[in-house]
Amino acid sequence: MYFGSPRAGMLGVLGIALLVGNCAWAVDMDQNSSISAESLAKGSAENSCPQYGEITGKVTFFPGGSVSDADIDADIHANINLEIAETPGQQRCGLMFRDRLPDDRGMGFPFDPPDQVSFWMKNVPVALDMVFVELIPDGRSNNSAPLSQGSYQVLDIITAPPCINDPCPTYGPKGEVAWVIELAEGRAEAMGLQKGDRLRIQRLQPEQSQQD
């Protein structure tokens, strides 16, 4: 449910957020545009969004702080299958109108380069754990890099309830994030996930992808 980034404001444009369910995609528009936010929201809400999309990635969390490469094969991690919202259409739909999210499943929103972002819960009927992920100082924007060569860590975890009334609140940390991983409510606590924990994100090859 991506709401937007303050970078749009620095460009002197008006960021109009489409009501795009779990992902409210920010569209930069000139203030004199004849397209209203209401019409954009209505058009987006009428789009068909799948209850389940294709599994195109996997995130492995390593609760407990720092991690060595030897821990990758150890039974101290938790794996979550990811739908990665890569395209504008996927980002517009997000988890919109989905009435449940299985414990072994989540949605990932990549930001390359990392950015300060805000998310909201417009049109999302279930509470979610939002895991905001940063690239650690020695990290690279390379999902296949071994942990010793740089990876990701948890910047913040926010549990967000469904939005009942407008205007919907927005959620996000002050720092720049490389990914946002959305999980079922309570999943982060059940895994023992905390700020500073390491994680690894993998994009699956087409032959590895799963369709539910």
Q: What is the CATH number of the domain that holds 196?
A: 2.60.120.1140
Question: Mean pLDDT score of the chain, rounded to an integer?
Answer: 75
**Model confidence at 145: pLDDT above 80:** no
Closest CA to 130 of 103, 169, 160: 160
Domain extent at residue 84: 50-211
Q: Which 8-state DSSP code applies to residue 163?
A: P
**Model confidence at 198: pLDDT above 80:** yes
**Model confidence at 116: pLDDT above 60:** yes
Instruction: Give me the pLDDT at residue 65, please.
Output: 59
Q: Is residue 35 part of a domain?
A: no
Domains in the chain: how many in total? 1
Q: How confident is the model at residue 2 (pLDDT cuts 50, 70, 90)?
A: low
Q: Is residue 18 part of a domain?
A: no
Give the tokens for residue 97: 């109108």
Measured CA to CA in angstroms, residue 124 lies from 61, 86, 127, 161, 211 at distances of: 25, 19, 8, 9, 22
- Prior bond to 50 cis, omega within 30? no
Instruction: Give me the pLDDT at residue 36, please.
Output: 37
* Average pLDDT estimate for 95-107: 93
Closest CA to 115 of 27, 196, 2: 2
pLDDT one-digit tens code per residue, 121-139: 989 999 999 999 999 876 5
Which segment of 37-51, 159-173, 197-211 scores lowest on mean pLDDT? 37-51
Which segment of 45-54, 141-150, 177-186 scores lowest on mean pLDDT? 141-150
Q: Is residue 129 part of a domain?
A: yes
Q: Is residue 27 part of a domain?
A: no
Instruction: Give me the pLDDT at residue 76, please.
Output: 58
| % of the chain residues with pLDDT over 90 | 47
**Cα–Cα distance measured from residue 162 to residue 164, given in angstroms and rounded to the nearest whole number:** 6
Work out whether strand 14-17 and strand 170-171 pair parallel, antiparallel, or are unpaired. Answer: unpaired
CB atoms within 10 A of CB 120: 25
Q: Is residue 189 part of a domain?
A: yes
Amino acid of residue 49 = C
Closest CA to 156 of 129, 138, 137: 129
Predicted TM-score of the model (pTM): 0.76
Q: Is residue 120 part of a domain?
A: yes
Q: Is residue 195 part of a domain?
A: yes
**Cα–Cα distance measured from residue 166 to residue 116, given in angstroms and rounded to the nearest whole number:** 23
Closest CA to 50 of 2, 89, 106, 1: 89
Q: Is residue 63 part of a domain?
A: yes
